[in-house]
Every structure is written in structure tokens, then in C-alpha cells.
């Protein structure tokens, strides 16, 4: 069985922790592990291989985090499919299934869900696999613990999925809970790859045909890269709308697995360890008569006095303060940031790149200062800038620097200067990370002032 892991989504309801280029599934929120890592560990116990579907930026995050896991080596195969633009879950799953063998059973899971009862999880996956072997499309219905209005519901008749329902109001959700045959829609599925594709072709032919064309044209080397124009031509739709709500082959497995989509700060609060006063554990938090608060931040001390039932998030470049129960409105903050052309919804002070990381130390009119760390054996793209000059000062390691036609080694406490418009590249040919300070000086220092001439990562 192959685990198809869907890495899409920006997790905007967890801003400022979650950003477009560092979404919630890759933030290490639970015992220094991310939801993505926990997903891989959990499913490596029930699957022999994994297939990760992501965009280009998330691919490098996934590779880095997989390397940290012991269980990764036990998986027979890891494949990647990169989408240049998201088209929702139906196309993502279809493209992955087209790479799988017809009789291959796939377990489709989001990468950003928390499941704490792994014993029961193994049981429900085993039940789903048996039904998938009988050519059914299986979905996992989460046994509801309260009347939740933020989830879709699945109405069942035994194992048969009777109907899918949109997010209800509180009165309707309470009725669902009382009737007992309604489950939260988990977004997890199990089926044979060929059966899903047959049903997609039957009920959403336009999506199937566009996916088939995109897969045929894809670049397939060490990973599968869908071309931008082909991806854009695929109609956008969820697996529920495209297939599950229409097919007569759908079964639902009732799953009491201590599941959470960690879709809001209120949900995150419930899952984190707390002190005797109900505050989330945080060594940087000084609490004076404060109770039942979610306090997140590792860069500065956070002191609270007589504060109760609040959410306080500090990420260094942004602070969020909210009442508990109101955290669903965080999406409105992100919308305002986008309208104002701020980058705060997009990236943290520390940005992750396939070659390493950079951290913005200061950003003012006319200049920007960064700390850059380059992994051993990696190099930045051969590039130039139209609006800025750059000074590089090496702090540790030895950098191989190309400026114009000249290539030389830059050692700790040595520096180099790159004039505006000059071709340049930085490489780490050593065994330890290269750390340097970059000072940019110019009228414009935005990240989009990069013209790449050659790039190891096909960006």
C-alpha cells in the first residue's frame, strides 16, 4: 500500500506561525516534530511506500524533514510529484494515481492532521484496505465528540456513505450528533488507483482528461514535474465534489482515532501540553495570575498579568493577540495583509531554500542585512540583481564565490563585493555549513530582484 501525502494548503488560520512558504504542516509544534513528520511516521507503519504531492517550495521542506526521520529509511520507495500551481485535491490525487500501478492500493492523507490513537488508526486502515481490495472507494469518518460547525459531515447507513453535507450551523450540527450516524469528514481515503481513476473519468471527465494530458507531458526524472500550462488547464475541484459525492462505490469507516485537523489556534490549544494554570508550556512565558492561555514565542520573553482565555503568538516579525473562540477570524488578518502588499503572510524572518536558510536581521529603506547559511555540497543559483549591490562577510566555513569571471575561496572574517548587475554565485564545497552576513544596498531589496541564469533546483 502506498501513502499519498498531500502537502498543499497555507494554513492561514494559524498565521503568523503558518505562512505561504512555511505552512503549518512543516512547523515543529509537537515535541520538535512537524505534523508532516508525524504523518510520515504514522503511515510508515501501515504502508510500504510513500508518494508526496507538493509545490516546489514545499518539496525542499519535505526532503529536509524526511532526512531527520529514522522511519524514512524503512520505506521501500519515496516518490514526489510537484505541482506548479494548486488545483485542489481531485487533480492532485489523480496525477499521483496515474503514476501508481492499477491494482496499487493507496492511502490518501493530508500532511497537516494530528492523530493520537495510533492503535485504533491501524485498525481502521486495515478495515479500509480490505474494502479497497473489493473495489470500493473508502473514506474515514471521524466520530464527532461535539457539535462542530467548521467541518463537513458524512451521513452513513452502516458502511454505506449515504450523503455528504456542507459545514452546518450549530442547530444542525447538534442534530447530527444526536442522531449518531453522522461523522466529520476527515479528508482521508483508501482505494485502488485504477478504481478512483475510473470513477473520476465517469463523473468528472474534464478533470480526468486534463490530468491525463498533464501527466503525459510531465517531466519525469528523479521526480515528476507537471508543466505550468498543463496544470492551469486542469479544472479546480475537490475529491468530494468530483467523485465521492457522486459515486455508488463509496464506503465510510467510523474512526474514533483522537483526530484533529489543528485548523485554528483554539484547536492547537487543546493539543498542546499545559501547566497547572492551563497555560501552554513555554519557557519564555512569565505568568502572573494568568490562566488558560495559548502563549507561543521563542525569541522574546512574554509576560502576562491577569490574562485569561487568550491567544498570544509572537514570531519575531508579527504579534497576534486574540480571545479564545475568535481565532477563526485570523484569516481576515491575512486578507488585509495581502491587500496591503505586505510579505508577512508569505514568509517568516527566516526563509527556507533548497540550499539552506536566510534570516533577515534588518530591513530598512535603502538596505537589508541577512544571515545566510548554506548546506554542505549546495550552491545558490548563478544570478544577478538590477537594483542592489551586495557585500558578503563569511562568519564560518569556507565559501566558493564566483563574481563575473573570477572564482575564489572566502574564509571566515574575509569578504567580497558584488556590484549591481554582476553575475555571481556562492557554493559550499566543504563539509560544514557556510554562514555569512549579507549586506544589500540599493533602492530596492525585494526577493523578486533576482535574475537566475542557472539553477541546480530548476527554479
First to last CA, the chain: 32
SS3 (DSSP) at 248 = coil
Question: Could you tell me the three cell numbers for 292?
Answer: 488558560
**Please, which contacts does 331-336 make with residues 24 or more away whose CB atoms are closer than 8 Å?**
331/12, 331/13, 333/15, 334/12, 334/15
Q: Are residues 273 and 356 in the same domain?
A: no
Instruction: Supply the CATH number for residue 232's domain.
Output: 3.90.550.10
pTM above 0.95, yes or no: no
SS3 (DSSP) at 227 = coil
Annotate 165-190 with DSSP letters as a single string.
EPPP-HHHHHHHHHHS-EEEEEEEEE
By DSSP bridging, strand 310-314 and strand 388-396 are: unpaired
Under 8 Å between Cβ of 282 and 247:
no
Q: What is the pLDDT of residue 67?
A: 86
Domain membership flag for residue 120: yes
Instruction: Residue 139: count other Cβ atoms within 10 Å of its Cβ.
Output: 27
Under 8 Å between Cβ of 87 and 234:
yes
Decide which of 211, 243, 260 is a domain's last residue: 260
pLDDT tens-place values along the chain, 459 residues long: 999 999 977 778 999 999 988 899 999 999 999 999 999 999 999 999 999 999 887 888 898 899 888 776 556 678 999 999 999 999 999 999 999 988 999 999 999 999 999 999 999 999 999 999 999 999 999 999 899 888 999 999 999 999 999 999 999 999 999 898 999 999 999 999 999 999 999 999 999 999 999 999 999 988 999 999 999 999 999 999 999 999 999 999 999 999 999 989 999 999 999 999 999 999 999 999 999 999 999 889 999 999 999 999 999 999 999 999 998 899 999 999 999 988 888 888 888 888 999 999 988 889 999 999 999 999 999 999 999 999 999 999 999 999 999 999 999 999 999 999 999 999 999 999 999 999 999 989 888 889 999 988 887
Q: Are residues 419 and 394 in the same domain?
A: yes
Under 8 Å between Cβ of 362 and 369:
yes
Under 8 Å between Cβ of 63 and 5:
no
Q: Are residues 283 and 231 in the same domain?
A: no
Domain membership flag for residue 428: yes
Q: Are residues 288 and 411 in the same domain?
A: no
Q: Are residues 234 and 287 in the same domain?
A: no
Q: Are residues 354 and 426 in the same domain?
A: yes
Q: Are residues 256 and 297 in the same domain?
A: no
SS3 (DSSP) at 410 = strand
Q: Are residues 394 and 252 in the same domain?
A: no
Under 8 Å between Cβ of 183 and 252:
yes
Q: Are residues 32 and 106 in the same domain?
A: yes
Q: Are residues 96 and 55 in the same domain?
A: yes
Instruction: Supply the CATH number for residue 371's domain.
Output: 2.60.120.10
Domain membership flag for residue 340: no
Q: Are residues 255 and 289 in the same domain?
A: no
Decide which of 260, 278, 300 is a domain's last residue: 260
Rounded CA-CA distance 83/45 in Å is 27
Domain membership flag for residue 134: yes
Domain membership flag for residue 334: no
Domain membership flag for residue 273: yes
Q: What is the pLDDT of residue 73?
A: 57
Decide which of 217, 242, 260 is a domain's last residue: 260
Q: Are residues 371 and 239 in the same domain?
A: no
Domain count for the chain:
3
Full domain range(s) for residue 435: 350-454
Domain membership flag for residue 459: no
Domain membership flag for residue 274: yes
Rounded CA-CA distance 318/347 in Å is 11
Amino acid at each position: 500500500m502506498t501513502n499519498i501525502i498531500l502537502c498543499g494548503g497555507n494554513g492561514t488560520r494559524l498565521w503568523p506561525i503558518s505562512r505561504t512558504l512555511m505552512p503549518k504542516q512543516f512547523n515543529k509544534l509537537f515535541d520538535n516534530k512537524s505534523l508532516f513528520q508525524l504523518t510520515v511516521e504514522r503511515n510508515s507503519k501501515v504502508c510500504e511506500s510513500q508518494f508526496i504531492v507538493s509545490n516546489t517550495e514545499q518539496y525542499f521542506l519535505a526532503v529536509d524533514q524526511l532526512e531527520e526521520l529514522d522511519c524514512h529509511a524503512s520505506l521501500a520507495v519515496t516518490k514526489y510529484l510537484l505541482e506548479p500551481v494548486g488545483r485542489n485535491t481531485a487533480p492532485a490525487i489523480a496525477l499521483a494515481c496515474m503514476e501508481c500501478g492499477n491494482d496499487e492500493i493507496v492511502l490518501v492523507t493530508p500532511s497537516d492532521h494530528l492523530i493520537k490513537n495510533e492503535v485504533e488508526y491501524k485498525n481502521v486502515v486495515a478495515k479500509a484496505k480490505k474494502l479497497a481490495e473489493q473495489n470500493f472507494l473508502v473514506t474515514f469518518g471521524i466520530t464527532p465528540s461535539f457539535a462542530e460547525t467548521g467541518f463537513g459531515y458524512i451521513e452513513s447507513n452502516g458502511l454505506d456513505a449515504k450523503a455528504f453535507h456542507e459545514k452546518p450551523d450549530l442547530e444542525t450540527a447538534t442534530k447530527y450528533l444526536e442522531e449518531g450516524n453522522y461523522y466529520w469528514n476527515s479528508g482521508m481515503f483508501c482505494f485502488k488507483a485504477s478504481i478512483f481513476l475510473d470513477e473520476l473519468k465517469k463523473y468528472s471527465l474534464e478533470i480526468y482528461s486534463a490530468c491525463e494530458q498533464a501527466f503525459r507531458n510531465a517531466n519525469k526524472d528523479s521526480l515528476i514535474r507537471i508543466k505550468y500550462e498543463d496544470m492551469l488547464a486542469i479544472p479546480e475541484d475537490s475529491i468530494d465534489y468530483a467523485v465521492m459525492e457522486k459515486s455508488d462505490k463509496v464506503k465510510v469507516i467510523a474512526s474514533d482515532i483522537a483526530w484533529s485537523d489543528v485548523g485554528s489556534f483554539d484547536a492547537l490549544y487543546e493539543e498542546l501540553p499545559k501547566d497547572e494554570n492551563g497555560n501552554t508550556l513555554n519557557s519564555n512565558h512569565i505568568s502572573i495570575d494568568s490562566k488558560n492561555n495559548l502563549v507561543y514565542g521563542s525569541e522574546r520573553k512574554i509576560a502576562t498579568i491577569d490574562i485569561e482565555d487568550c491567544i498570544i503568538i509572537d514570531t519575531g516579525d508579527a504579534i497576534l493577540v486574540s480571545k479564545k473562540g475568535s481565532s477563526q477570524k485570523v484569516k481576515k488578518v491575512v486578507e488585509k495583509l495581502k491587500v496591503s502588499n505586505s510579505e508577512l503572510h508569505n514568509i517568516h524572518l527566516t526563509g527556507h531554500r533548497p540550499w539552506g536558510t536566510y534570516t533577515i536581521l534588518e530591513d530598512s529603506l535603502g538596505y537589508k542585512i541577512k544571515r545566510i547559511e548554506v548546506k554542505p555540497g549546495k550552491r545558490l543559483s548563478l544570478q544577478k540583481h538590477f537594483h542592489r549591490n551586495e557585500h558578503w562577510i563569511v562568519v564560518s566555513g569556507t565559501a566558493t564565490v564566483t563574481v563575473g569571471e573570477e572564482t575564489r575561496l572566502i574564509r571566515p572574517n574575509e569578504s567580497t563585493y558584488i556590484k549591481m548587475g554582476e553575475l555571481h554565485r556562492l557554493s559550499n564545497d566543504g563539509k560544514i555549513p557556510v554562514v555569512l552576513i549579507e549586506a544589500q544596498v540599493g533602492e530596492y531589496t525585494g526577493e523578486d530582484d533576482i535574475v537566475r541564469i542557472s539553477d541546480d533546483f530548476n527554479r
